[in-house]
Amino acid sequence: MVFHNEAFTIDNLWDKIVEQEGREFLTKKGLPFTYTIKGGELFTDRRERSITRSTFEKAYEKLLRDQVGEGAPKRIVGPKTLNVYGAPYVWAVFTGIGMIEEELYIQEEMQF
């Protein structure tokens, strides 16, 4: 996982999320969803409860501390290890807007 913190700051993060409102995203399990923004809340079409702007900012700060920390092993590697409310959706949005880049694992057919 690569964290692109040079293009994203705590100050512009929410604006970048708002810009993608209505676009389709995929969770890590491949579930499609879109979202709408109402004030400081993000509502997905798959959940009834909202994910707040502060949750996204908290997740961003966790990633920043984890990925930029010197010498320590990286502990955040996916939505579960992000450990915030709505983590699968937060992770999907972060990946979809280009803040997180993950390697794709493609299983090749074995020939005998």
Q: For residue 21, what pLDDT is reported?
A: 97
Across the 112 residues of the chain, what is the mean pLDDT of every consecutive 10-residue run? 81 96 94 96 93 97 83 81 95 94 53 44
Q: For residue 23, what pLDDT is reported?
A: 96
Q: Which residues contact 108 (CB under 8 A, 6 or more apart)?
A: none
- Which segments of the chain does DSSP mark as H helices, in order? 13-19, 53-68, 79-82, 87-96
Q: For residue 110, what pLDDT is reported?
A: 41
Structure tokens at 71: 């010498």
Q: Which residues contact 21 (CB under 8 A, 6 or more apart)?
A: 35, 36, 37
Q: For residue 77, what pLDDT is reported?
A: 87
Q: For residue 102, what pLDDT is reported?
A: 80
The pTM assigned to this predicted structure is: 0.85
Q: For residue 5, what pLDDT is reported?
A: 74
